[in-house]
Structure 1
Amino acid sequence: MSNINQSRRRLFSRRKSNAIRPPWSRTDIEFTDICSRCDKCILSCETDIIIKGDGGFPEIDFKIDECTFCKKCAEVCPEAIFTDTNEQAWQLTATVNDTCLAHHGIWCQSCKDACDPRAITFKPEIGQAPRPNIDLNACTGCGACVAPCPNNSIILAASDNRV
């Protein structure tokens, strides 16, 4: 198959993006089918975490700040992209990877200090720096723990296929 045909196939294939879409938004493929890329959600975000992502579609960047679940993005959107804002915003949960400073014996609890729902705790261990533990039932997926992490060790990912 020629490179041109492969490029066309990639262009028109409907692949799922790894982008995190604004809270209460539809699944990724539905989102990109409906979103007009008007930027109203980007301009209304009170913490400026909604950015223009791949293809000009809105994405969340938790390295900037957290989501306060203010609902402004859903309120200003002229399209039928958002679901019921009285439901859970999304199925995201935080995960701490191996680059966490605490996993390397360095005392750091910046993620815990930023977590309002107190979903992140640290259990003291003899002879070691306390390591983070995330209560997935308490984690709202707000992303408050991501930006303050000095080692970029926290990611938010979908706990189901919604995002």
Structure 2
Amino acid sequence: MSTINQSRRRLFSRKKNDAIRPPWVKQSIEFTDECTRCDKCISVCETQIIVKGEGGFPEIDFKIDECTFCQKCVNACPEAIFNDTDTPAWQVKATIQDTCMAYQGIWCQSCKDACDPRAISFSLAVGKAPLPQIDIEACTACGACVAPCPSTAILVRAV
């Protein structure tokens, strides 16, 4: 089988929901059908978290930084594929994986320190490192907790 056929097969077998798109993208559209990959949202992102993803489509990379919800990506998009910014930016939330240092008995609260809405708290336990908890209602999915995590234990994904 040729390399072209293999890469084409991988493109079409990709899970559609594994990439986080820029904030406020309409859920009612097929993003890859509407987005022209003009890169305007990428160039205006003040924290540079919008990157070219698979197929050249914009994706969010919270390992770089957080979303400040500045709305520059919305205003730069000529295709108008964004919702009104009064709606939630994403249908995603932060989750903490088992690789969290606190679960290994190591005292770390870097995610809590980075979380402006205070959605991450730690429960104290005698003789143990405090364990993290995320208040899903308070989480804005800004991704501020992702980059500072030394064990890459925090993911932002669909809820």
TM-score, normalization by structure 2: 0.91
Displacement of 1:26 in angstroms is 2.4
CA distance in 2: counterparts of 1:113 and 1:10, whole angstroms: 39
CA distance in 1: counterparts of 2:33 and 2:102, whole angstroms: 42
Deviations 1:72-112 (A, max 9, x none): 00001000211111111111111100100000000000000
**Identical amino acids, percent of aligned pairs:** 67
The code of the aligned residue for 1:40 comes to K
Q: Which residue of 1 aligns with 2:68?
A: 68
Displacement of 1:115 in angstroms is 0.2
Q: Which residue of 2 aligns with 1:129?
A: 129
CA RMSD of aligned residues (A): 1.9
What secondary structure, in the 3-state scheme, does the structure 1 residue paired with 2:107 have? Answer: coil
Contact (CA 8 Å) 1:94, 1:134: kept in 2 or not?
yes
Q: Which residue of 2 aligns with 1:115?
A: 115
TM-score, normalization by structure 1: 0.89
Q: Which residue of 2 aligns with 1:151?
A: 151
The code of the aligned residue for 2:79 comes to E
Equivalent residues in 2 for 1:27-38, closer than 5 Å: 27=27, 30-38=30-38
Displacement of 1:9 in angstroms is 6.0
Q: Which residue of 1 aligns with 2:16?
A: 16
The code of the aligned residue for 1:129 comes to A
**Stretch deviating more after TM superposition (116-125 or 75-84):** 75-84
4+ residue runs over 4 A deviation? 6-15
1:49 has 2:54 as partner: no
Contact (CA 8 Å) 1:65, 1:147: kept in 2 or not?
yes
Unaligned runs of 5+ in 2: none
Displacement of 1:27 in angstroms is 3.5
Deviations 1:18-69 (A, max 9, x none): 1100000123961110111110000000000000110100000000000011
Contact (CA 8 Å) 1:93, 1:158: kept in 2 or not?
yes
CA distance in 2: counterparts of 1:13 and 1:104, whole angstroms: 36
Unaligned runs of 5+ in 1: none
Contact (CA 8 Å) 1:16, 1:28: kept in 2 or not?
no
Q: Residue 57 and residue 129 in structure 1: after superposition, are their counterparts in 2 closer, same or farther (change >3 A)? A: same
Q: Which residue of 1 aligns with 2:88?
A: 88
